[in-house]
């Protein structure tokens, strides 16, 4: 591979990273708004938020991308820059998945905490901001970390629309070299490295947030997951397990 | 926004063709991922770390890289090694392989969820290893994980449009072809979008019902 082609790959990495950051921000905003709306006391708000989640989770991210690229422009008369079209499609789709995470984490906060807030006559907004979210957010980090990896994998979809991301630059290099094994191996490795870095960052974030609550990630404190049954040494050995 | 019902009517025959291809890919991909995932999960339980380590690295790698690039890899690289499959076969293999790294974790959780007493009873009854697995552990483990596997089938359904990128005429492939020939993008894309919701939402309700029945 020549340096010119590597430059192409670097540009692709930059586009992928930009798209990842923008769509992750949009997805996070959507997840929190929709996820919190799903715990609202008015049924119509809950219903609308649930409807949003089911529609965007029900359809495929790639179809959403096609829709934003091909249906929105004639329908509403405006054309989005590819970067924003990709961000919109990915952010809305993955935000729907994220809203389930937010809802689950909010529901898993000890009900006594909510009741304590009511007893101290906190307003609903204060309860959410001062009591529920600080306890729920650290619990969201591990599932959000998985979702972020899914989002990273999802960014490759925009290459189908001709956006010059990492997967697309791979295709260009393949066409230039007439040889695919090498470049696709590199592309896969680059994606893997980005995913690895993201998991590291998210793990660090989880540690930091949980330390703020006086909890240790994975075990410690009262948030220990239910212990799963361990096999005794005898059984494990007979089964060839650990 | 103009909506043309005659375009929907014209698209419907292509839609059914595409649906058939999508469902074929889904069924075959699921079968591969169920089988291969079980193989990975069992390999991860072998005592030798020379087996566990490579399997762990390879599956982690496959899980953390985009399916789309894996599809391109298989579609363009295999012919260079003189292995030629049809686009559909390549796509099914790629989807099956990708999702096997997810089902593997589902199986692992299922196997770890079998109570220790079951292992000990199998030892006490002097059951050989194969019989312990096939008659005691796996039936209980798999029963528990059916809903989780089902959820991955639903996500697999939502990933089948990717096959379009390697020239398979699935639902999205048919829609794109139709739009390019007739310059009507709105109708076919909306039809398949709605079709996906109509398939995946009842399927996810079914999985929730199964979860209540099977997992206790």
The third-level CATH classification (topology) of the domain covering A3-220 is: MetI-like fold (1.10.3720)
Q: Which of A82-86, B27-31, B115-119 has the lowest mean pLDDT?
A: A82-86
Residues 6+ apart with CB under 8 A from A104: A143
What is the pLDDT confidence band of residue B216, given thresholds at 50, 70 and 90?
Answer: low
Tokens representing residue B187 in the block: 């109708």
Q: Is the pLDDT of residue B49 over 50?
A: yes
Chain B residues whose CB is inside 8 A of the A55 CB are: 197
Q: Note the pLDDT of residue A60.
A: 87
Find tokens 């490579």 and name the residue. Answer: B54
Interface test with A, best of B18, B26, B62, B65 (most A CBs within 10 A): B65
pLDDT at A235: 41
The token duo for B166 is 């390697």
Pairwise CA distance, residues B123 & A239, whole Å: 8
Enumerate the H helices of chain A as residue ranges: 3-37, 43-58, 61-66, 72-76, 82-108, 111-119, 124-126, 133-155, 166-177, 181-212, 233-239
ipTM score of complex:
0.85
CA distance A207 to A104: 20
CA distances A223 to A112, A139, B158, Å, are 15, 10, 34
Interface probe for A, chosen from B69, B156, B177, B190 (most Cβ of A below 10 Å), is: B69
Domain ranges of chain B: 5-214
Contact B66 A180 (CB under 8 A): no
Q: Is B83 exposed, middle or buried (0-12, 13-18, 19+ CB in 10 A)?
A: exposed
Residue B128: which residues within 8 A CB-CB, separation 6 or more?
none
pLDDT at A221: 43
Distance CA B73, CA B67 (A): 10
Least confident range of A4-18, A228-242, B64-78, B119-133 = A228-242
Q: pLDDT-based confidence at B101, cuts 50/70/90?
A: very high
Q: What is the mean pLDDT of each run of 10 residues along chain A (242 residues)?
A: 82 92 95 92 92 89 87 75 89 93 91 91 90 90 92 91 87 85 89 92 89 65 45 41 38
Phi, psi of A233 (to 5 degrees): -55, -40
What pLDDT score was predicted for residue A201?
92
CB contact under 8 A, B46 and A240: yes
Q: Extract the tokens encoding A51.
A: 């409807």
The beta strand positions in chain B, using DSSP E, are none
| Predicted local confidence at residue B1, as pLDDT | 60
Segment B51-56 mean pLDDT: 92
Write down the CATH number for the domain with range B5-214: 1.10.3720.10
B164-197 pLDDT tens trace: 888 888 888 888 888 888 888 788 888 888 888 9
- What is the rounded CA–CA span in Å between residue B109 and residue B148? 10
| Shortest CA gap A61–chain B (Å) | 7
CB nearest B76 (choices: A153, A155, A184): A184
How far does Cα A1 stand from its chain's mean position?
A: 33
Chain A residues whose CB is inside 8 A of the B157 CB are 60
Count, residues in chain A: 242
- Residues in contact with A197: Cβ distance below 8 Å, sequence separation at least 6, in sequence order: none
Reference A208, options A137, A114, A159; nearest CA is A137
Please list, in sequence order, all residues whose beta carbon lies within 8 angstroms of the beta carbon of residue A57, skipping any fewer than 6 positions away.
A93, A96, A97, A100, B200
User: How far is the C-alpha of B19 from the C-alpha of A146, rounded, in Å?
Assistant: 30
| Segment among A192-201, B11-20, B52-61, B104-113 with least mean pLDDT | B11-20
A198: left (phi over 0), alpha (psi -120 to 50) or beta: alpha
Instruction: Provide the pLDDT for residue A105.
Output: 92
Q: Which 3-state string (H, E, C) describes B121-172? A: HHHHCCCCHHHHHHHHHHHHHHHHHHHHHHHHHHHHHHHHHHHHHHCCCCHH
What is the pTM for the complete model shown? 0.85
> Where is pLDDT greater, at A14 or B1?
A14
Count of CB contacts below 8 A, A vs B? 155
Rounded Cα–Cα distance for residues A101 and A90 (Å): 17
Q: Where are the domains of chain A?
A: 3-220
């Amino acid at each position: 591979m020549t340096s010119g082609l590597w430059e192409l790959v670097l540009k692709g990495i930059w586009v992928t990273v930009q798209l990842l950051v923008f769509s992750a921000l949009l997805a996070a905003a959507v997840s929190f708004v929709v996820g919190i709306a799903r715990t609202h006391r008015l049924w119509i708000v809950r219903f609308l938020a649930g409807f949003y989640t089911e529609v965007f989770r029900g359809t495929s991210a790639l179809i959403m991308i096609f829709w934003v690229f091909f249906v929105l422009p004639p329908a509403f008369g405006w054309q989005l820059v590819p970067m924003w079209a990709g961000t919109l499609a990915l952010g809305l789709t993955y935000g729907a998945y994220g809203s389930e995470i937010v809802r689950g984490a909010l529901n898993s906060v000890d009900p006594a905490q909510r009741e304590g807030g009511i007893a101290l006559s906190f307003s609903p907004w204060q309860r959410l901001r001062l009591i529920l979210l600080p306890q729920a957010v650290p619990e969201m980090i591990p599932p959000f970390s998985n979702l972020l990896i899914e989002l990273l994998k999802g960014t490759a979809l925009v290459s189908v629309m001709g956006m010059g991301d990492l997967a697309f630059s791979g295709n260009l290099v393949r066409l230039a070299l007439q040889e695919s094994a090498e470049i696709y191996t590199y592309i896969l490795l680059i994606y893997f490295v980005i995913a690895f870095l993201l998991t590291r960052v998210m793990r660090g974030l989880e540690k930091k947030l949980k330390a703020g609550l006086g909890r240790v990630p994975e075990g410690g404190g009262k948030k220990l997951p239910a212990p799963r049954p361990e096999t005794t040494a005898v059984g494990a050995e007979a089964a060839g397990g650990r | 926004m103009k909506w043309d019902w005659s375009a929907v009517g014209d698209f419907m025959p292509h839609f059914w063709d595409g649906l058939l291809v999508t469902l074929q890919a889904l069924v075959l991909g699921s079968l591969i991922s169920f089988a291969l995932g079980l193989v990975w999960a069992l390999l991860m339980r072998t005592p030798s770390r020379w087996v566990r380590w490579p399997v762990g690295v390879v599956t982690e790698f496959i899980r953390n890289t985009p399916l789309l690039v894996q599809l391109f890899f298989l579609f363009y690289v295999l012919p260079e090694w003189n292995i030629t499959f049809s686009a559909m076969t390549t796509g099914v293999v790629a989807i099956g392989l990708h999702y096997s790294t997810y089902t593997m974790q589902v199986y692992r959780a299922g196997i770890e969820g079998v109570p220790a007493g079951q292992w000990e009873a199998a030892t006490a009854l002097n059951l050989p290893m194969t019989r312990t697995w096939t008659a005691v552990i796996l039936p209980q483990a798999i029963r528990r994980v059916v809903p989780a596997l089902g959820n991955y089938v639903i996500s697999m359904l939502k990933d089948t449009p990717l096959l379009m990128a390697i020239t398979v005429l699935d639902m999205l492939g048919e829609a794109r072809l139709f739009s390019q020939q007739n310059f009507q993008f709105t109708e076919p894309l909306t039809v398949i979008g709605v079709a996906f919701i109509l398939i995946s939402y009842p399927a996810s309700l079914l999985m929730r019902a199964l979860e209540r029945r099977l997992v206790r």
